[in-house]
Amino acid sequence: MTGRFFDWNGSAIPFREGETIAAALTGAGILHLGDDSVGSEARYFCGIGACQNCLVRVNGAIREACLTRAVAGLSVACVERRDHD
């Protein structure tokens, strides 16, 4: 496999230079980023870091996918929202 990829829950996600993790996931057709604290589906929403709907775990740290640039080799995964609260 060539090009730029990061790992999303075990799948290789391609991205373009400068894209955020949220943009790359959306481009790959991945809209469900986890479940929120009441069990509803968490999705990319505001795109400016305000709603916290897009929280993901990036190399173990919780980050907003809409503000975090994709970098080759990152490990990105869903966040258990109960862990975050």
**In the complex, which residues of this chain contact ligand FES (CB under 6 A)?**
44-47, 49-54, 64, 66
Measured CA to CA, the distance from residue 56 to residue 64 in angstroms comes to 6
Looking at the Cβ atoms of 67 and 72, the one nearer to ligand FES is: 67
Find the residue with minimal CB distance to ligand FES: 66
Contact between 5 and 71 under an 8 Å Cβ cutoff? The reply is: no
The minimum distance between CB 1 and ligand FES, in angstroms, equals 28
Sequence-distant (6+) residues with CB within 8 A of 47 are 22, 66
Cβ closest to ligand FES, residue 2 vs residue 79: 79
